Amino acid sequence: MGNFKKSLYGDVEGLLSLYEASFHSTEDEPILDEARDFTSKFLKEFVNENEGNDTSLLINHALEFPLQWTVPRWEALWFINLDGGKRIGLVEELSFFRDRLVENFIWSVGMDSKPNLGNFRKVITKAISLTTVLDDVYDVYGTLEELELFTEAIDSWDVNAIDSLPALHEDMLPVTL
């Protein structure tokens, strides 16, 4: 389609960016209209072949509401809701915990805000989030007997102790260790 190189097919994120950029076209820029048609077709095919993954969610959202058509605060809220707690992998089992992903990230930014330390902030955010989840397990969820077994399993650093734990704690132990 058009004069676009075949090598572009391998760069899904680049094509998504090109699709978003194409909405900045004016009447005298038919190349951006062609780019929108090209990327739209490719992105729809990608979504059909890769349903359910995070990239497909982002593409579907962009195809429905390009960034230039959205209100920035609502768009930010959509991304926060999409990502909140999902990265930990325990959201379904831990409906009682405080979802404070953004707050935890702000803590990590407060620790060190240098632009080149993005990976540091990700790791620190995950550690703070895990600590928050553990705090909620101890404060809200577990009984005294369950928590004593869970504490012994953590203290021993023994993944095999999983057999003696209740279901929720079985899910938490490998993440904790």
pLDDT digits (tens, 9 = 90+) for 84-112: 645 555 555 566 667 777 888 888 888 88
Measure Cα distances from 32 to 16, 21, 120 in Å: 13, 8, 38
Helices (H), ranges, 30-117: 30-49, 54-64, 72-83, 101-111
| 67 vs 85: CA distance, rounded Å | 24
Residue 1 is predicted with a pLDDT of: 52
Q: Tokens for 92?
A: 């379904």
> Band of the pLDDT at 173, cuts 50, 70, 90?
low
> Band of the pLDDT at 75, cuts 50, 70, 90?
confident
> Band of the pLDDT at 138, cuts 50, 70, 90?
confident
Residue 99 has a CB neighbour count (10 Å cut-off) of 19
Identity of the amino acid at 39: T
> Band of the pLDDT at 131, cuts 50, 70, 90?
confident
> Band of the pLDDT at 53, cuts 50, 70, 90?
confident
Looking at the predicted structure, is the pLDDT value of residue 133 above 70?
A: yes
Q: What is the pLDDT of residues 19-37, one digit of tens each?
A: 888 888 888 888 888 888 8
Mean pLDDT confidence for 139-162: 78
Q: Does the reported pTM lie above 0.95?
A: no
* Residue predicted with more confidence, 74 or 62: 62
